[in-house]
Structure 1
């Protein structure tokens, strides 16, 4: 990736009919699409935005009627890597020109990175959108609206526009989007339901960690031999929230590697079952956590949507063997 210098000048006058009054949101609406939210916020912080001849560095600055906004951009910017199209076998539960709901398989990376430029979920989604016979949507990249770890399977929302992502993010903050997971946990949980609330690290900068309060509910579905099947309901979607909360409660998800050394007690089951479980672990490298159901309001059509997905074969076999 190469660096390039961007030199541009833009001028706007804020009017009462303009919907977005916050500075960064207003500029997202007005500036060309190549200016992402991240770039716009950097332009503001660097002092390249003037309102009524006064320099403004606050991205949350509220605009007033007839405010004169001037943007001077002169900075080094890394040229974005082009997202490659790849044909992948994706399980699509819902699809329109604004939104896709996909049942992601485990062991599939969502976003391309330094080590994974190809073979990710986004590569497959871009191929799907750009090769549709009906629409042939041309995109720089699709937008992932909710987090799912590489090892986790289940429902994931994909938007074709940044404004759709903003709408879904707002629904998350208002707790309108409901997500439910199925987890197979090591050990027997005696309580029928456990509510967990704690602060989880959401970012680390310059040696300092930033935390937010998260709430999770765990309900027992079935108790197996040395394992418990749980329904997990989360009101937020912080990184590894379910995994972290279960660890704090003294439990770990089957085949968990990051937060514990996986431990399964095989004394009570037949030897052939032990071999099948060992084979599942070695071959699939999955985590026994699945995003099973999802409820939301469509950002454009404003209709209630509800989706349910089938658990992966590996989790089904694990439950059947340990029943």
Structure 2
């Protein structure tokens, strides 16, 4: 059994290409680049490594050379879908707007862009209703205005580009890791160091594509750096501030899990069960009540800072913690004071 046979996710065929009988030997990545529109060579190579590209129903290496009559299939975890976005009249919490950009405070539970099982009701559906002709990044069809994203159940700030110039300007800042992004998270337990940096590679789990896994030996994944600081130590849980130096998928969630302090009620990374505390029934009931208050991972994108594309001045935006986040912190503070 190879590492991909453990994955239960169904794959959907997106492309099937049969090589010409007179096909000369050609590397698979170059072959596909000529036949798949708007797909980069890096993306093709990643797809080959992840097992999404098969030749004659078999996995191949990135240096495989296509032979005459080879059958190449490209499959993905989500079915093919038209990239057209349907505008929907959904309210937006816009905290700042000018001719170049807007900053939105996203509610928890809202998906940022249309994708498998979430083709409607997303932030992008709302944006296309409120704004016309938003730009789209290359190879990012169906996601107008987006320069970055946050998870469905993470609340907080997103910057949206209204012009091509703004999108290019902001995309470069994200690429250069010069964007200032601060998150607040409620995590299980008390980190040994009140302040620290997690510098551990992150990549797609080899057992479950939906999960980001740490690779501390640096043999896989991408560089990922999170700076954290404990703001409020509540014995069983801690409120921490995280600053992202990089922006990998599920970075804070995976890094804090690696540190042994998963985010409170983060079902994907083990935070939806008691990680710190007693086994007494009353305590378990208290924790369950806390889970009901914040039925999601306790993570909020609190502030965002960047160089404005028109003024070239540094601008910063801040947001309040949402009500569910504030309520669960207050409940833990009361509990700690009560048991002292």
| Superposition TM-score, scaled by structure 1 size | 0.66
Per the alignment, residue 263 of structure 2 pairs with 253
1:105-120 matches, cutoff 5 A: 105-120=107-122
- Asked whether 1:303 is paired with 2:313, we answer yes
1:165 positional shift: 2.4
SS in 1 for 2:300: strand
Partner Cα distance (1:39, 1:242) in 2: 33
> Is the 1:85–1:123 contact (alpha carbons within 8 Å) kept by the matching residues of 2?
yes
Compute the RMSD of aligned alpha carbons.
Answer: 3.4
Q: Which residue of 2 aligns with 1:218?
A: 228
1:152 to partner: Cα distance: 0.4
Change (3 A) 1:90 1:263: same
Query: Is the alpha carbon distance of 1:79 and 1:234 closer, same or farther for their aligned partners in structure 2, counting shifts above 3 Å?
Result: closer
- Indicate which of 144, 147, 156 corresponds to 1:145: 147
One of 96, 103, 111 as aligned partner of 1:101: 103
1:178 and 2:180 matched: yes
Residue by residue, what CA displacement relative to the aligned partner does 1:231-274 show, whole Å, maximum 9, x if unpaired? 00111111011111111111100001111152336759996995
What stretches of structure 1 of length at least 5 have no aligned partner? Answer: 4-37, 46-77, 131-136
Q: Is there any run of 5+ residues in structure 2 with no aligned partner, and where? A: 1-13, 15-35, 44-79, 136-141, 210-218, 334-340
Q: Within 2, Cα distance between the matches of 1:253 and 1:127?
A: 34
SS of equivalent to 2:229? strand
SS at match of 1:147: coil
Q: 1:169 to 1:186 in 2, by over 3 A?
A: same
Aligned partners of 2:225 and 2:246 also within 8 Å: yes
Q: Is the 8 A contact 1:109 1:120 kept in 2?
A: yes
The aligned residue for residue 241 of structure 2 is: 231
Q: Describe the SS at the equivalent of 1:143.
A: coil
Conserved? CA contact 1:186–1:263, under 8 Å: no
Q: CA deviation at 1:189?
A: 2.2
Runs of 4+ in 1 over 3 A off after TM superposition: 38-43, 78-81, 137-141, 264-275, 277-280
TM-score, structure 2 length as denominator?
0.63
Per the alignment, in what secondary structure is the counterpart of residue 212 of structure 1?
coil
Residues 92, 104 of structure 2: 8 Å contact kept: yes
Residue of structure 2 in register with 1:278 after alignment? 288
Hey, what's the Cα distance between the residues in 2 that align with 1:248 and 1:203? Answer: 13
1:97-137 deviation per Cα after TM superposition (whole angstroms, max 9, x unaligned): 3211101111111111232221001011111114xxxxxx5
What is the aligned length? 245
Q: Matches of 2:134 and 2:172 in 1, distance apart? A: 26
Question: What whole-Å deviation, never above 9, does each CA across 1:200-247 have from its counterpart, x for those lacking one?
Answer: 11699xx9x962111111101011141100000111111011111111
